[in-house]
Amino acid sequence: MFHALDYEPKFAYQVDNTRGSLAYFRRLQKAGIDCSYLEAWPDWDRTFRRCWELMLSRAQAYDCYWVYSVEADNIPAPESLAVMVNVALYGNLHLVMHSYPMHEGPAKASGQDPASFVYHELGCMLMSRRLLERSLAEFDKYGNIAMAIMGTCANYEGGSATLTNRFEVKHLDGYQMAYGNLAPSSVKGLIFPSPKMPDDFGTELPPSLREESG
């Protein structure tokens, strides 16, 4: 996905927080991806805060103006980064998000319409490095990184936009290989879209962990 983005210059960096295993981290290294390993806390909030601190440090080292956040199971279209940068520049915005669908497999397996919910937060999001710096500095006001970014942007009138269907964002499936790594956020009010997970949720090891156990 990274190499397909038609925007230059660009740099890729990933933080692996897989609990108790370095297998995925080693796979990233073999693929030539700049990455760090973080031993996760039990909870989502502290783990993601530290991940974003590491990502900010790398953005500062590269002197990046923009930070493009893409979750590992999302594949935005090649033009996505250029489109979001252009929207941000045109609107003088510090934050641009693009909606993406929930996983089709677990939605159908739990009896839910896959089109009934879309995400629009960290999974496909462009922000200025300055917004990330301020969000982390004021993290304790909010308690988790998603609320910190959006709350800080609103509080300082940084300007934001959410795009829908401007380009394709593929959300890879494979809920059978979901790895129970982190407890949910402790902050009340965060949305979890599926009322019931399928019975075979998390019953298979991801490929990197299968290789390690084998």
pLDDT of residue 41: 87
Residue-wise pLDDT for 52-72, tens only, equals: 999 999 999 999 999 999 988
Which pLDDT band holds residue 191 (cuts at 50, 70, 90)?
Answer: very low
Q: Are 181 and 41 in contact (CB under 8 A)?
A: no
Nearest to 187 by CA among 155, 139, 154: 139
What average pLDDT does this structure show over 181-190?
A: 62
What average pLDDT does this structure show over 96-103?
A: 87
pLDDT of residue 108: 75
More confident residue, 183 or 47: 47
Catalogue all structural domains in the chain, each as residue range(s) with its CATH number: 14-213 (3.90.550)
Q: What is the dihedral of CA 26, 29, 30, 33, to 10 degrees?
A: 140
pLDDT of residue 119: 79
Mean residue pLDDT of the chain comes to 86
Per-residue b or e along 36-46, where b marks 16 or more CB atoms closer than 10 Å to that residue's CB: bbbebbeebbe
Residue 56 CA: distances (Å) to CA of 50, 62, 111, 113, 157: 10, 10, 39, 37, 21
More confident residue, 3 or 98: 98
pLDDT of residue 178: 65
What average pLDDT does this structure show over 33-37?
A: 95
